[in-house]
């Protein structure tokens, strides 16, 4: 799966999520984009919506946020009004990110948002966890012909299957991200084992959208097959943002990127052939001088270090055979030395 210039099969695709971490300042948003690039991100991701595209402004109980979140007490409309990235910023942010050779795309939260984003030709569309049940939105985004990245935080199996079906219907690439839709997400609820299961069941690129604190979870996710990692990114924790508690600072993000790149290199490929150290293995050597025609015995050949002689497994079939020439103590045993 390619997202812009990045092939996720060759390199873990690391996304810095801007979300609401702009403090209502376009300059802060641009500074955050720059810091994300400097911190090793492959992409910056926006969220594209207006409160009216998301919900209605109601104080009824259903619309009040509760349940122990960071935003309890607000209604949905108030939260989205506070957190939104203004539509009028998008063009400048897209142009600025591209000037830095940074991939940029967004999560559209409605069909109107998809239509709005189309003018910028984003690298992909990201379907957020809470939007995966909006089948109409998923299909509409897929119909635009760009790769889609889908977080599975609140998804039932059929919701995930629907997203995969839409990708197949429109012949586009899809990636499924394991996600725990809690902010922040407790480590005990992350369930990273789901990542290889998603890969096995749906046979698509898989990844991890992380809301835990710290960097352990995304690094571990890469060892389990995640080819995309998404993490909220904030310029400074002093910024007044509803997402700051589970966002990484530039220093923390750099540490995550460094750890992911190191792990990525170490994962390598399945390979049972030793690369180094064979010289310290045992092999068959002459341990006493042997005359031509003399038989090999356990007294004159042994499996010792180093490992340049014949494999020790051949010792039983060599014992009792005759030397083809005089051999000195310390010579590595080779087949040319062995007669009947």
Per-10-residue mean pLDDT for the chain, 340 residues long?
A: 95 96 95 98 98 94 84 87 95 98 98 98 96 97 98 95 98 97 91 98 98 96 98 93 90 98 93 79 96 97 96 97 97 95
Q: What is the DSSP secondary structure assignment for residue 3, as one 8-state letter?
A: E
Per-residue tokens: 40:
């090793």
Query: Which CATH number applies to 7-49+84-267?
Result: 3.20.20.70
Angle at CA of residue 46, ends 45 and 47, nearest 5°: 130
* Contact between residue 216 and residue 153 where contact means Cβ atoms under 8 Å apart: no
Q: Where are the domains of the chain?
A: 7-49+84-267, 278-337
Q: How far apart are CA 211 and CA 151, in angstroms?
A: 12
Cα-based torsion angle of the residue sequence 97, 102, 108, 109 in order, rounded to the nearest 10 degrees: -90
For 164-209, what is each residue's pLDDT tens digit? 999 999 999 999 999 998 888 999 999 999 999 999 999 999 999 9
Q: What is the DSSP secondary structure assignment for residue 26, as one 8-state letter?
A: H
What's the pLDDT at 275?
Answer: 66
What's the pLDDT at 316?
Answer: 97
Instruction: Supply the pTM of this predicted model.
Output: 0.88
Q: Which of 219, 224, 166 is nearest to 199 (CA)?
A: 224
Angle at CA of residue 190, ends 187 and 194, nearest 5°: 150
Fold of the CATH domain 278-337: Type Iii Antifreeze Protein Isoform Hplc 12 (3.90.1210)
């Amino acid at each position: 799966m390619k997202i812009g210039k990045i092939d996720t099969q060759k390199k873990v695709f690391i996304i810095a999520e801007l979300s609401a971490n702009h403090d209502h300042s376009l300059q802060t948003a641009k500074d955050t984009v720059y810091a994300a690039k400097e911190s090793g991100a492959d992409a910056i991701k926006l969220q594209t919506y207006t409160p009216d595209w998301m919900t209605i402004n109601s104080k009824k109980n259903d619309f009040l946020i509760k349940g122990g979140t960071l935003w309890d007490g607000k209604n949905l409309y108030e939260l989205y009004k506070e957190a939104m990235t203004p539509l009028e910023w998008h063009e400048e942010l897209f142009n600025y990110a591209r000037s830095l050779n940074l991939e940029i795309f967004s999560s559209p939260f409605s069909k109107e948002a998809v239509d709005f984003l189309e003018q910028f030709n984003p690298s992909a569309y990201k379907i957020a966890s809470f939007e995966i049940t909006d089948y109409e939105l998923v299909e509409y985004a897929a119909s635009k012909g760009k790769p889609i990245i889908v977080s599975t935080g609140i998804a039932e199996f059929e919701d995930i299957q629907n997203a995969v079906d839409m990708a197949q219907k429109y012949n586009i690439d899809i990636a499924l991200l394991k996600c725990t839709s809690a902010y922040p997400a407790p480590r005990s609820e992350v369930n990273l084992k789901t990542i290889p299961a998603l890969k096995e069941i749906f046979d698509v690129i898989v990844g991890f959208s992380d809301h835990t604190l710290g960097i352990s979870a995304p690094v571990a996710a890469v060892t389990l097959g995640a080819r995309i990692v998404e993490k909220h990114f904030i310029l400074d924790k002093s910024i007044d943002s509803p997402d700051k508690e589970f966002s990484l600072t530039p220093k923390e993000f750099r540490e995550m990127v460094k750890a992911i790149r190191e792990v990525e290199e170490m994962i390598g490929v399945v390979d049972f052939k030793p690369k180094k150290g064979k010289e310290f293995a045992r092999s068959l050597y002459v341990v006493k001088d042997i005359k031509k025609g003399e038989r090999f015995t356990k007294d004159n050949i042994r499996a010792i270090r180093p490992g340049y002689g014949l494999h020790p497994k051949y010792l039983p079939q060599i014992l009792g055979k005759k030397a083809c020439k005089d051999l000195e103590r310390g010579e590595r045993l080779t087949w040319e030395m062995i007669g009947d």
